[in-house]
Amino acid sequence: MSRTAGTRLAALGAALFIAGMQGCTAPTVTGDPDSPLPAARHGAMSGLAVEPGLRQSARRLIEQLDHDDPAVRWRAASILESRTGQTLGYRYDDPPSIRREAVLRWVRWHESAFGTVESSTPPGRNVSNG
């Protein structure tokens, strides 16, 4: 095989490899805090972390503070703390009765800062169990 043919063959191989890699991307995960997929739950929280309006994102994060999944609760609390500089005594791993009191403090904080929390989930009620 000539040097030119070898170079062309190598270039063709590289082009085919690169073309084949175009389809090798991670699937898009839609964020849903109640999804059975951990990646979707994480995606939902990540979306709220960068949402520009604190009023809406804080309301939705507060709703997630009483979620069944401790990872969702932790992420929501972490985002609230990073965006507000406060914890209001909330700890994701506290027993439900203590967490509920802290969730109510967050609800009162939101009402004080932005007005009434408009939610389909009453404070202290488990989000994923309705």
Please give the pLDDT value at position 129: 42
Domain coordinates in residue numbering, the chain = 38-114
The token pair that represents 32 in the structure block? 């849903």
Please give the pLDDT value at position 107: 95
For residue 103, pLDDT beyond 70: yes
For residue 27, pLDDT beyond 50: no
For residue 22, pLDDT beyond 80: no
Write the DSSP assignment of 8-26 as a string of letters.
HHHHHHHHHHHHHHTT--P
